[in-house]
Amino acid sequence: MQFRLLRGSILAVSLSLATVPAYFAGEPNPPCGTGAAQSPIDIKTKKIKTADLPPLRQDYRQVTLNLIDNSHSIQVNYAAGSTLTVGNKVYTLKEIDFHHPSETRVNGKAVPLEAHLIHADSGGKVAVVAVLFDLGNPNPLLDVLWRNIPTEKGKAVNVSAASITAADLLPAAPGYYTFTGSLTTPPCTEGVIWYVLKAHKTASKEQLDDFARLYKKNVRPVQPVNDRQILQTK
Ligand SMILES: [Zn+2]
């Protein structure tokens, strides 16, 4: 996951992309190397607490597809007006990116693909909804995305012929795990609220292979949980 709005400036973005490899341990620019609440993590379900948590209300509009290959991942830039509401907090959907295999692990296990739906509130607080994909039936939205991946890296393309909604990435069941963490690419900014959906979606072997041809393993290793509390819905 990367989130441009949290970076100091566009210049800082291009500098960090030019000088820092996308995924590695011991990143030189703090808090990647020093943070105590980093992402991704391995969720050990036996060690977490069950709590009475508010439902995620995801009101995602149909938008014109805007896509960029940002050298970390394939990223959808989402047009304004789609929201995630959790209790009295409202976040706007900004970007979606993908990781192969998943960055998030559950009881040590990764799955073939993970989507990060990256939101921010009006004060810049970031909330990520993570969706895990098992091997199975093709996801129709992934077909539309993969078909329109720009040939040139770093240049966003607007695909006026393609209307999409992030709702097509969501499983039907509402349960989730939640904890605080960070962005998973430099600058690894902390204070990000994570919602990892318990139910999975599926992607076909062909869809996974197509993504893997571009990004064979765009995954940051799991980070120590330390003293963070991980909660799950009932
Ligand atoms: Zn991501």
Q: For position 65, which CATH number holds?
A: 3.10.200.10
C-alpha distance from residue 211 to each of 23, 27, 98, 192 (Å): 17, 25, 9, 26
**Does the residue 110 lie in any domain?**
yes
Domain that holds residue 49: 4-23+37-233
How confident is residue 122, by pLDDT bands cut at 50, 70 and 90?
Answer: very high
Distance CA(122)–CA(141), nearest Å, equals 28
**Does the residue 31 lie in any domain?**
no
**Does the residue 86 lie in any domain?**
yes
Domain count, the chain: 1
Query: For residue 118, how far is its CA from the centre of ligand 1 (angstroms)?
Result: 8
**Does the residue 30 lie in any domain?**
no
C-alpha distance from residue 128 to each of 117, 134, 215, 216 (Å): 5, 19, 21, 23
Query: For residue 223, how far is its CA from the centre of ligand 1 (angstroms)?
Result: 15
The pLDDT tens digits for 98-107 are 999 999 999 9
**Does the residue 9 lie in any domain?**
yes
**Does the residue 29 lie in any domain?**
no
The pLDDT tens digits for 43-87 are 999 999 999 999 999 999 999 999 999 999 999 999 999 999 999
Strands 56-59 and 83-86: antiparallel
Query: For residue 68, how far is its CA from the centre of ligand 1 (angstroms)?
Result: 13
**Does the residue 126 lie in any domain?**
yes
Average pLDDT over residues 195-214: 98
Active site residues: 72
pTM here is 0.89
C-alpha distance from residue 191 to each of 36, 60, 81 (Å): 11, 24, 23
**Does the residue 120 lie in any domain?**
yes
Tell me the percentage of the chain whose pLDDT exceeds 90: 83
The helix/strand/coil state of 160 is: strand
* Residue 190, φ and ψ in degrees, nearest 5: -90, 180
